[in-house]
Structures are given as C-alpha cells and as structure tokens.
Structure 1
Amino acid sequence: MNRDIIALVAKLVLLFRNPESYKRFLACRDADAQQLLDLLQDLLDLDSFSAVKPLIFQALMRLSRDSGLHPRCFSLPELHKVGQQVTGGGFGDLWQGLVCGQSVSVKMMRVFKNAHIDAILKEFSREALIWRQLCHPNVLPFFGVYYLENRLCLVSPWMENGNMMDFLTNENPCNTALHSEILDVALGLQYLHAQNVVHGDLKAINILVTPSGTACIADFGLSSIADIMTLRFTHSTSYVQGGTARYQAPELLRGEKRHYGSDVYAFACVCYEILTGMVPFHELPNDMAVILQVIQGKHPSQPVMCRNTATLESLWKLLIDCWEENTDSRPPAPQIVERLAGSSIGATPTLSAAKDWDETFTSKFRRSLQAQPLLPSVNQIEHILFGSGWFIFEVLFVLN
C-alpha cells in the first residue's frame, strides 16, 4: 500500500506542476472536487511526503477556495452550546460547547451584511484549512467545523485555564514560570514560521493555557501563508491592517504586508504583557496615540520588574531587539528560542507529567467521531483519477 500511495503522490505532483493540468484540476466542482479535497487532506495527514506537502496543501487551498468546499473530515456531528458567550473577536464570537460529551471551544462566525458574507466565509474556511495542518504542543489543535444556527463554527479543545492574562491573574506565577510561558510562546511561533504561517494577531488573549499550564498559540483568523496575499476587511474597527493596533509593527501601520518580522514584533508585545500584566502602551488613552508613538520609532518603556537582575536585563534586551525599526535586524524565531533557553536567561519549557496532546491528537478525535479509513478505498481513488474525462488522459500521459 505504501508503494501505491507513493506512486499516487508522484502522479499528483506531476499533474500539479503542469499548468494546463493544474488549471483543469482547479476547475473541478461538486462531487469530483469533494473527493479530491478529501484525498488531498488524507495525504497531508500522513507522516510521509514532507518535501511535497506544501505543494499538496497549496492545491488543497486553491481548490477549496474555488469550489466553496472543504474536506469532509472537517465536519463534526451534533454540537451543543453550553452556557453564555465567552468573548467576541473581529469576525467571530466564542462559546463553550459539547461534541460527543467532550468540552470544546466554538468560534462562531458573526452575521454580517450580505455583501460581506462570501468574503468572511472564505476567511473562516481559509483559517480552518491552515489550522487543520498544524500540530505542535504550543499550538492549539483544530477539531473541525460545524454549522450552528446557520452560522459557521470552528471547533477546538476547551481550555479551562482560559487565555494567558486570565491564567496570570488567577495563578500569579513566579518569574521562572513566566519565563517558561514566554519560551512556550516562542516555540509555538518557531513552529508556525517553519510551516510558512504568519499568525498576524499575536497578543496575550490569543495565547491559551493548557491543563498542564503550557502556553499555546490560538486564533488563526488572521494567519496567512507567507507568500499568499490575504483578505482585508473594511467593516471592522478592531484591526489596523489585520491586527490589533497596540501590537502592530511600524511597517504594518504604514500599510506593508504582514510577515515573520511583524510576528516577532508582536511576540515582544506578548512578552511585555506576560511580564507586566498590562497591554503595551497602557499609559496611552487610545489606539491612535499608540500608532503615533510607534510610527515615530517608540516602543514600550522598560518596567521596573525588568531591572536589577542580569536575567531580566537580558530578557529586556531581547524584547528591544524584537522591536527594532529595521525588520531585518529583528531576530528570527529560532534565534529567539536559542536566546531564551541560553545561559543569560535560562528559560525552560513548561513541564507536564503527560502531554496535553500528541502528534495524532486531532486525527484521533476525528476517527472517534467518524468510522472511516484514513485514505479512500481503491475504488474511490480509481473513480477520482479515472472517473472524469480530463483526468484519465492526464494520468495516462504521466504513466507513459
């Protein structure tokens, strides 16, 4: 079977690299498109093919966008809301829910004017597609999608500890624990950037805390594949160029595109929140005042708690470097992790007796809800490849 799957992936890659074949592939609709999306997602769920997964994922993204469909494994069975709305964001409201007795977080799309519905549905679908591919101890897993009250929902595990600011308020951890939480966030960011994902909206309320006390990055509503132009909405006042103003790098405030360096800038703002318990530029009355300061090259001033010890001075120096005006001068995520774990700061990842989730967490949850094999049957694959007219000629061409 492994040999057959390798042969199938090789044929798909050749088809994707042929402009005419790729164009016809993207023109698939309805049942053909659905089967292809299911196949591509199942291939992405395998541990193999890391070298060509970006190509497969790009094909999945584009076909999903053009067809208006997503892989069927994203769809969950009956979901129930529990209690009151927890919070709201730029495009969605957050509720607690239940799926098959498991407590989950439900991000429900808000109702907008008809003119915006298609664009926002595409944004939510894009978030789901990106999120589904991610698996790391410091990145919140994705369970699937659900339509509730005619509104699209993105479903993930419920984090009882809440976001980072809730956790810090309730637990009041020591400096060593704070440094561990900061390193957790840096490890999650390093992973996202290694996957070519720009988060785009890093802030403490988008950092959740797992049952073991580990920090994990959540809310990918503004994340983007680094080399793909992202949608921008004009109906929200909560964001400036796709992110909350107090966490925006100066180049974003000047209208430039989000990138890895802007995530690094926002990471330093998250560190400031974790260390002080206050938002960046908390002394300024509104976002416009913050924007004026940032454009002038200002950054948050050093708090008292970041003085008087070599460790805290080293940590503050790292934040200063992350806030550099010149984006090329900001340290990349791997260097941030190295400096945090180095002898001058000495941060260690949050320890836990057991992992909160492993590499197969989301797929295990999926299989517990849907009795289906990881890959389609041989008959299904034959139908996908040979059932529509253009594919049979393309595959025969490749075989020859």
Structure 2
Amino acid sequence: MKRDICAIVVELALLLQDPESYKTFLAYRGPGAQGLLDILQDVLDLDAFAVVKPLICKALLRLCRASGLYPRCFVLTELEKIGDQVAAGGFGDIWKGVIHKRSVCVKVMRLFKDSDIQALLKEFGREALIWRQFCHPNLLPFFGVYYLGNRLCLVSPWMENGTITEFLRDEPDADRLSLILDVALGLQYLHEQNVVHGDLKAINILVTPSQRACIGDFGLASIINTMSVRFTHSTGNVRGGTARYQAPELFKGIPSHFGSDVYAFACTCYEILTGRVPFHELPNDVTVMFKVIEGNRPSRPEACSGTAALDSLWKLLETCWDGEAEKRPNAAQIVKRLEGLSLRGSTAASATDWDEKFTSKFRRSLHDKPLLPSVAQIERLIFGDGESSV
C-alpha cells in the first residue's frame, strides 16, 4: 500500500507540473472535482511527501477556487446555535457558537452587497484550505466550515482568555517570555510547512486555557512552493498586513516572506512586553511607514531594561528588525536563542486545550473510505460485475 501511494503521489506531482495536464485538472467540475479534492486532501493528511506538499496544496486551492467546492471532510453540520456577536473585522464578524455543549468561535463572512458573495467565498475558502493543513499546539486548530444561508463560516475553538493583549491586561504577572516562545514555536512550524503568515500581531494571537499562546487568523497566509513558483492568495497586489508590523522591504512592493514574518514577530514581542503597539507615539500608519523606511525601529522602554535576560531579549528583537532581510534570524534560530542559556525560556506544561474530536482532521480519520480502492473494486472497474466485461 505504501509503495502504491508513493507511486500515485509521484504521478500526481508530474501531472501538476505539466501545463496541459494542469489545465485539464482545473477544468473539472461537479462530482469529478469533488473526488479530486477529496483525494488531494487525503494525500495531504498523510503528513508525508514534504517536498511535493506545497505543490499539492496549491492544486487543492486552485481547484477549490475554480469549482466552488471543498473536500467533504471540511463541512460541519452539527453547529447547534450561534449566540451573540462578540467582535467585528474587515471581512468577517466573530460570533460565539455551540457544538455538543462546547463553545466555539464562528467567523462569519460579512456581506456588503450581493456582488461580494463570490469574491468573499473564495477568500474565506482559501483561508480555510490553508488553515486546515496545520496541526500544532501553538496554532489555533480548524474545526471546519459551516454554511449559514449563503454565508460561509469558519469554526474554531472558543478561547475564553481572548487575545494575548486582553489576557496580559487581566494577568499582568503572566510569564511573557513563555508566551513569546510559544509564538516563536508556532512561527517555526508555519515556516517548516513553507507557509508565510503575513499578518502576525498581538491581536491575531490567542491564549489557551492552559495559558499557551497560539497563532490564528490565516487570511493573509501564503505558501512557498518549493517545486515551482511562489503563489499567494491573489494574482493582484499580494501585500497585506498592518503597517506598524511590516518590514521595510514590504513598503517597496516586495511580497511577504519568511523574513518579514520574523520582523513582525519582533514587533509582536514588543507589544507583549510593553502592552503598546509598535510606534504608539506616532499618529498614523503613513508616518510609521516613512520612519521604518528611514531605518527607525520601536524605541526601547524602561520595562525592557535592567536585567541580563532583558538585554539579551532586546538584542534578539534588534536582529529581527534588521533592515536587510537576509541578516535576520530564521524562526528556528529564534527558538534556539529563546531556549538558550541567556534566556532559558520554557513553554507552559502540555495540556489538552481543545477537543481533538471536533477537528476536521480527526473527523476525516473516522471515515471508512480508504485512500486507494481495493483489488476487488479495481477488478469490478475493469471487468464489470461478472456478467459482462469492459
């Protein structure tokens, strides 16, 4: 079976790199497209074939976008109710829902007019597809998609502690270094999966019941395809994010990359340490943009001075803010320094912060449909049911 699956993945990778075959692949609709999407997700769920995983993920994204369908394991049907709206965003509102007496977070697609529906469906769908591929204690897990009328909803665990900013406001004595290390570990995992977050900031980091930080909001995430060209969520302007957290090269039109995530990580650390957004003293984002391009960085507050550990941490932030992206440390190096002798960072004790049975990935594991057909099924496909041959 393993050898057969390897053979299929090799053939699939070759097909997806042939322009004509790829065009035919993207033209599938209806049941044919649904079957292909399910197979692609099955291959991704094997957690193997790291070299071709970005290529397959790209194919999954593009076929979903073209067909308007999702792998069947994404869809939730057991959302019992949606309560009150608790927050509003640019394209989606946050509501609190319930599944099997457990609270969940429901990100509901916001509609401005009928013409927005298809565009927003594609953007929400893209976030779901990228988010679904992750599995890490420092990343918010994906439970699935739910349809509320003609609006798509993304469902995840409800985090009572809220964002890291809200948590630290209520728990000022919390271990901030541990939370910073959590964020670094989550970022390391993303980069190992060839994913750029693209909008890392404190408001996009939640705190679990065991007081671990986990990264959320993958609406601007993009994938680096190691076998082909880089692709993002749009064929147009790919730059997004928040100006106060953006590296200087992004203001010159360069798309988000691993190094710009590292820069944003340092800005997020500043916010965790001080409780203030970077460049809080500047009135608007345009002023921030010019200051960053000129080489200015957030100034060191007194709260980040006074001990050898704080000195070491601030030096790490300064290297992450380097004006030349190639001189910034990568996520793995950041984790190593945070856990090193000068800082001795450690994460909170391991705990189960959400019910894994609710995750889309776990639900797929319960399906009895195998990845490959049995020999008997293949024989029926080739020779018929015994009464006539093909």
- If the TM-score is normalised by the length of the shorter chain, which range does it land in? 0.7 to 0.9
Quick one: percent identity of the two aligned structures? 63
**Deviations 1:317-372 (Å, cap 9, x if unpaired)?**
111111111111111111111111111111112223x343699873565259xx63
Matched residue, 2:146: 146
* Counterpart-to-counterpart distance in 2, 1:254 and 1:19: 32
Matched residue, 1:372: 367
Number of residues of Structure 1 aligned to a counterpart in Structure 2: 375
**TM-superposed deviation, 1:42:** 1.5
Distance 1:101 1:381, change over 3 A: farther
Report the AA paired with residue 66 of structure 1: A
Matched residue, 2:353: 356
Distance 1:62 1:151, change over 3 A: same
**What does residue range 144-293 of structure 1 map to in structure 2 within 5 Å?**
144-174=144-174, 177-226=175-224, 227-231=230-234, 241-293=239-291
**TM-superposed deviation, 1:114:** 4.2
* Counterpart-to-counterpart distance in 1, 2:167 and 2:235: 32
Report the AA paired with residue 214 of structure 2: C
**Deviations 1:69-97 (Å, cap 9, x if unpaired)?**
11111110042444321212222111111
* Counterpart-to-counterpart distance in 1, 2:233 and 2:82: 33
**TM-superposed deviation, 1:245:** 1.7
Distance 1:163 1:156, change over 3 A: same
Q: Determine if contact 1:76/1:144 at 8 Å carries over to the other structure.
A: yes
Matched residue, 1:56: 56
The answer for unaligned runs of 5 or more in structure 1 is: 235-239, 388-400
* Counterpart-to-counterpart distance in 1, 2:355 and 2:344: 26
Matched residue, 1:31: 31
TM-score (norm 2): 0.88
Report the AA paired with residue 101 of structure 1: K
Distance 1:79 1:233, change over 3 A: farther
> Which range moves more in the overlay, 357-366 or 337-346?
357-366
* Counterpart-to-counterpart distance in 2, 1:356 and 1:91: 27
Q: Determine if contact 1:245/1:290 at 8 Å carries over to the other structure.
A: yes
* Counterpart-to-counterpart distance in 2, 1:338 and 1:359: 29
Q: Determine if contact 2:54/2:194 at 8 Å carries over to the other structure.
A: no
**TM-superposed deviation, 1:50:** 3.4
Matched residue, 1:339: 337
**TM-superposed deviation, 1:115:** 4.3
**TM-superposed deviation, 1:209:** 0.8
Distance 1:232 1:319, change over 3 A: farther
**TM-superposed deviation, 1:62:** 2.0
What SS is found at the alignment partner of 1:190? helix
TM-score (norm 1): 0.86
* Counterpart-to-counterpart distance in 2, 1:276 and 1:3: 54
CA RMSD of aligned residues (A): 2.7
Q: Determine if contact 1:94/1:108 at 8 Å carries over to the other structure.
A: yes
> Which range moves more in the overlay, 372-381 or 99-108?
372-381
The answer for unaligned runs of 5 or more in structure 2 is: 225-229, 383-390
Matched residue, 2:127: 127
Runs of 4+ residues over 6 Å off in structure 1: 358-361, 379-383
What SS is found at the alignment partner of 2:343? coil
What SS is found at the alignment partner of 2:266? helix
> Which range moves more in the overlay, 222-231 or 7-16?
7-16
> Which range moves more in the overlay, 185-194 or 104-113?
104-113
Report the AA paired with residue 42 of structure 1: D
* Counterpart-to-counterpart distance in 1, 2:241 and 2:298: 18
**Deviations 1:197-234 (Å, cap 9, x if unpaired)?**
11111111110111111111000011111311433899
* Counterpart-to-counterpart distance in 1, 2:246 and 2:120: 22
Matched residue, 2:112: 112
What SS is found at the alignment partner of 1:375? coil
Distance 1:10 1:252, change over 3 A: closer
What SS is found at the alignment partner of 1:378? coil
**Deviations 1:32-85 (Å, cap 9, x if unpaired)?**
000110111122112443343233222212221222211111110042444321
